[in-house]
Amino acid sequence: MKDQYKERIEQLLSKMTLEEKVGQLKQCGPSLVGAFEVSFEELLDMMFDGKISHDEFERLMSTATQDYHEEELRSGRIGSYNGISDAKTANRLQKLAVEETRLGIPLLFGYDVIHGFETVTPIPLAESCAWEPKLWEKTARMAAEEATAGGVHMTFAPMVDVAKDARWGRISEGAGEDPLLNACYGAAKVRGFQGDDLTKPDAMIACVKHFAGYGAAESGKDYNRVDMSMQRLWEEYLPGYQACIKAGARAVMPAFNDINGTPCTANHWLLKDILRKKWGFGGVTVSDANAIAELTEHGIAEDLAEAAKKALLAGTEIDMTSNVYAEYLPELIQSKNVKEDVLDEAVFHVLHLKFEAGLFEHPYRTDEVCKQHTLLGKEYRETAREAAAKSMVLLKNTGILPLKKEMKLGIFGSLAADRAEMTGAWSIKAEPGNCISIIDACKTRRISYEYHPGTFADSADKKAIDEIAKQSDVLLVAVGEQKNESGEAASRADITLPLEQLRLVNELQATGRPVIAVLFNGRPLALQPLEEKASAILEAWHPGTEAGNAVMDILYGDINPSGKLTTTFPYTSGQCPIYYAHMNTGRPGGKSKFTSKYLDTPLEPLYPFGYGLSYTEYTYSDLTVQVQKDGFRVSVQVKNTGSRDGDEIIQCYVRDINAQRARPVKELKAFEKRTITAGQTIIQEFIIPYQTLGYYDQEMNYIIEPGTFKFYVGGNVKNVLECEAEYQN
Ligand code: GLC
C-alpha cells in the first residue's frame, strides 16, 4: 500500500540540517531548577525513603521552576518531550516548535500513562486478574481521553514483560507470568490507547515495552542480566510484544537489560532482524531513560560516542534523556563514522509517526478536546470502580464474607486510611487526595466502625486495639506494601509481610474475633503466616482512585468477586521464581527423597495461578475434546451450584505429553469469563488451533508434532478436569 506521507517526509528531510535531523531524535524531560541543593531525582528518592514528607516534596517542587530547554527547542534540536502533562504547557512549547523553528516540525509529547492519568485504575498486575480484554481496552480508552486532554500524544505503555519472579518490583506493571495473558492484555491496551484513528485528538500512541524479556531479570533484581535459550525467549517472552505490534502499536521501547550479553538498546538482531524485518514494524523505537548512555556501564561501548553509534546502528531511534545522540551523532556523521542514511531512516520513522498522529495538521490540544472529557468525571470513576472490583481476588473465606450491614467493624492498619498508597506505582499524574480509602468508603456507606492505625508505639496502643476489637463484630486489617515497594527499582529479596503487620494480625486474631485481611500490594507476597490467622483474605492490590469503594462493594457482597491470580503466590520468598508452566523434570517432586523439591518448603505454591474464590460455587463436568480440521474443539459444562449469580473465568491448559524438547506441565491456551446465574449450567467451548501447540526444536524450527496432548479445564490451574486427544498432522 502506497505510503501517503513518504513524499512529504522526503521533501522535509532534504531541507533538514544535520543538527535538525539529530534534534528529531532528542527527547528531553523538563529539568527542575530549584532553590534546593539536591537534584530532582535525589529529592524523589528522599521522599520515597521517607526522609521528606510528600507535602515537603510538593512545597519544594512549588519553589522550583521547570526548564524546558526553550533555546534548544527554538533551534530545532528537540523532537519530543517526556513528562509534559498539561495542555497549556504542551501548547506553549508546541507553538515555539511550530512557529519559531526554521522548519516548524511539531513536537511529540510522551508520558507514562500506565494505569490511568488523573483517574487511576488498578495497577496492571491487578487488572490482569480480571481476565477481561474488553475491560482492559475500556480503561485504556479512558486513560487516553484524559491524557490527551492533558496534552499527551504517546504513552510509554503497555508493558508486557512476562514476569515469573515475585521479587522483581516491576511485576506490578504487566499482566503476570503467562505469555497468552500478556499478549491479550497488551493487544487490548494498544487498541484502547490508539483507538481506530491515530489522527483523532483523543488517540494516544502506544509504546510497547520493554523489548524484550525484562521480566526475566536474574534473581528478580531490577535491571539485571537476562540469559536464556532462544527457544525459551520465543516461546515464553516474545509473544506479548508481537501481539502488540500486530494490534498496531506505533512505538516500541527497548529494555534496559541485555539478552545473553547484548543490551536490547544496541541489539541489532532484536531491533532490526526481529522487530523490523520479521514482524514488519514500521513505527518508532524510543530508548528507555538514559539507556543509550548506559551502554558504557554494560561494557559494550568504550565511550559515549561508541554508545551512540552502536545504539543507532542497532535501531534505537529516539534518545530518551541521555542526550548522547545530540552530543555525538553530528560528529559521527560528519566524520563518516556513521552513514547519514542510517540517521535519515530513524528521522523518517519519527516524522512518519508525527504525520500519522496528525500533528502537522493539528499540533495543538484545542480547548474543545480539553473540555470534551472532564478529568475524573463521574463515568471515569465508575469505570475505575468496576475495574478495581474485577481485579480483586478473594483468596480465603471461611464464610465470614460477605459482611452484614449491621456488623460493627474494627478497622486497623494505616493502609485502611491512606489514600495516596491506593494509586500504586507509576501513577505520577494522580492527585492522591482524589482516591477513596476504606475509611472514606465506610463513611459514605454509614458503616459503624472504629479505626486504629494498628501501630504499637506504647501500651496505650495495645489497650486501644484490644478495646476496639472487643467492641467489634468483625476485625478488618489492611496490610501489604507501600506503593514505592513495587514498580521500578523496587525489587525485594524477602516478600513476606512486615513483622509489625504480622504482629497486628496475631494480636487481632488472639481476641477471638474473625479477622478479614485486605491486601494492598504490587506483587505476589509470601502470605502463609497471614493465611493461618485470617478468616478471610481479599487481594485488593493497589486498586486506584476508587479503592475503598471497590473493597467495600466486595466485602458487603454488592459485587461477587471474580478475579483470578495471574501470578503464582509462593509459601516463602525462597520458592521464587515459582510459576505454573514449569517443567516436570525427570524426578518430579514427591514423597521420596530423591525428587525435585525443597527440604524446608512445600513444592506447591500457597495460591496457584488462575486461583480466586467467589461467593458462589461452580462445578465442572463433561469435558470432551474433538479432533477437527484446524484444531481441537474443547467442550466443558460449568454449573453455578450456589445461590448467587457470578462470573467464572474458565481456563483451558494443554500439555504436549511427548516431544523432542520437554514441554511445560501445563500451558494456558484459552480462557473465557462467563456470567453464570445461580443454578444455571452453561457449556463453554474452546477451539485450540494446532498452530498454537508447537514449539521450537533444537535448531529453532517451529514444529507442531503429531502425538498425544493432555487437556486440563477448570477454574484454576490446579483444580481441573482432564482428558487426552491425539493430533495426527
Ligand atoms: C523508566 C522506565 C520506563 C519509563 C521511562 C520513562 O526508567 O524504565 O518504563 O517509561 O523511564 O519515564
Q: Is the CB of 112 under 6 A from ligand 1?
A: yes
Among 42-51, 175-184, 481-490, the range scoring the smallest mean pLDDT is 42-51
720 CA to centre of ligand 1 in angstroms: 39
* Atom number of ligand 1 nearest to Cα 256: 8
- Beta carbon of 488 within 6 Å of any ligand 1 atom: yes
Mean model confidence pLDDT for the chain: 95
Ligand 1 neighbour 319 (Cβ under 6 A): no
Contact between 366 and 201 (Cβ < 8 Å): yes
CA 151 to chain centre: 23
Q: Does ligand 1 come within 6 angstroms of the Cβ of 209?
A: yes
Question: 421 C-alpha to center of ligand 1: Å?
Answer: 20
Residue type at 714? G
- Under the banding of pLDDT at 50, 70 and 90, the label for residue 43 is confident
For the chain, what percent of residues have pLDDT higher than 70?
A: 97
Structure confidence at residue 591 (pLDDT): 80
Indicate if ligand 1 lies below 6 Å from the C-beta of 156: yes
Give yes or no for residue 669 having a pLDDT over 80.
yes
Provide the pLDDT confidence category of residue 373 given band limits of 50, 70 and 90.
Answer: low
Residue identifier of the C-alpha nearest atom 12 of ligand 1: 112
The residue among 253, 383, 369, 367 whose CA lies nearest residue 318 is 253
Query: With a 6 A CB cut-off, is 322 part of the ligand 1 pocket?
Result: no
Buried/exposed 465-481: b ≥16 CB within 10 Å, e otherwise = beebbeebebbbbbbbb
**Which of 7-16, 139-148, 274-283, 367-376 is least confident?**
367-376
Q: Which atom in ligand 1 lies closest to the alpha carbon of residue 173?
A: 9
Q: Which residues pair with 207 in a beta bridge?
A: 251
The response to whether residue 82 sits with its C-beta less than 6 Å from ligand 1 reads yes
114 CA closest ligand 1 atom index: 10
What is the spatial distance between Cα 228 and Cα 213, in angstroms, rounded to a whole number?
A: 9
Q: Find the 145 Cα to ligand 1 centroid distance in Å.
A: 21
More confident position, 34 or 467? 467
Q: Which atom of ligand 1 is nearest to the CA of 209?
A: 9
- Per residue in 557-592, pLDDT (tens digit) is 999 999 999 999 999 999 999 999 999 999 998 788
Shortest-distance Cα residue to atom 8 of ligand 1: 288
- Which residue has its alpha carbon closest to ligand 1 atom 1? 289
Work out the average pLDDT over 232-249. Answer: 98
Ligand 1 close to Cβ of residue 288 (< 6 A): yes
Ligand 1: distance of its center to the CA of 209 in Å?
Answer: 9
pLDDT at 47: 77
**In angstroms, what is the span from residue 393 Cα to ligand 1's centroid?**
28
Whole-number Cα distances in Å, 390 to 393, 397, 434:
8, 17, 20
Whether the per-residue pLDDT at 32 is higher than 70: the answer is: no
Confidence of residue 487 (pLDDT cuts 50, 70, 90): very high
Residue 289 beta carbon below 6 angstroms from any ligand 1 atom: yes
Instruction: Report which ligand 1 atom has the smallest distance to the Cα of 320.
Output: 6
Best residue among 81, 84, 108, 112 to mutate for probing ligand 1, ranked by most atoms within 8 Å of CB? 112
CB-neighbour burial class of residue 228 (10 A; exposed 0-12, middle 13-18, buried 19+): middle
Find the Cα–Cα–Cα–Cα dihedral 270, 272, 278, 281, rounded to 10°: 110
DSSP state letters, 125-178: HHHHTT--HHHHHHHHHHHHHHHHHTT--EE---B------TTSGGGGGS--S-
Active site residues: 288
Distance 161 CA to ligand 1 centre (A): 13
Nearest residue (CA) to ligand 1, atom 6:
289
User: Given the CA of residue 290, which atom of ligand 1 is nearest to it?
Assistant: 7
Q: What is the pLDDT of residue 371?
A: 63
> For residue 288, how far is its CA from the centre of ligand 1 (angstroms)?
6
Percent of the chain having pLDDT more than 90? Answer: 90
Q: Please report which confidence band the pLDDT of residue 326 belongs to, taking 50, 70 and 90 as the band edges.
A: very high
Task: Please determine, for residue 35, whether its predicted confidence score (pLDDT) is greater than 60.
Answer: no
**Choice from 159, 488, 491 to test ligand 1 binding pocket (greatest atom count within 8 A of CB):** 488
In this predicted structure, which of 357-371, 544-558, 588-602 has the lowest mean pLDDT? 357-371
Of residues 81 and 56, more confidently modeled: 81
**Positive or negative torsion for Cα 529, 531, 535, 536:** positive
Cβ(28) – ligand 1 distance below 6 Å: no
26 CB within 6 A, ligand 1:
no
**C-alpha 575 to ligand 1 mean position (Å):** 29
153-195 tens-digit pLDDT = 999 999 999 999 999 999 999 999 999 999 999 999 999 999 9
- Please give the model's pTM, rounded to 2 decimal places: 0.96
Distance CA 259, CA 647 (A): 40
Q: Is the CB of 161 under 6 A from ligand 1?
A: no
Q: How far is the CA of 243 from the centre of ligand 1 (A)?
A: 21
* Cis-peptide, bond into residue 363, ω within 30° of zero: no
- Give me ligand 1 centre to Cα 206, in Å: 14
pLDDT score, position 458: 84
Closest Cα to atom 7 of ligand 1? 289
pLDDT of residue 126: 98
Indicate if the pLDDT at residue 374 is higher than 70: no
- The CB-side HSE value for 519 (13 A sphere, CA atoms) comes to 26
Q: Is 173 in the pocket of ligand 1 (CB under 6 A)?
A: no
The residue whose CA has the least distance to atom 11 of ligand 1 is 289
Could you tell me if 516 and 428 are in contact, meaning their C-beta atoms sit under 8 angstroms apart? no
pLDDT band at 16 (very low <50, low <70, confident <90, very high): very high
Between 180 and 366, the more confident residue is 180
Nearest atom, ligand 1, residue 83 CA: 12
Listed in order, strand segments (DSSP E) in 398-511 are 409-412, 449-452, 474-480
Q: Residue 216 above 80 pLDDT?
A: yes
Ligand 1: centre distance to CA 293 (Å): 15
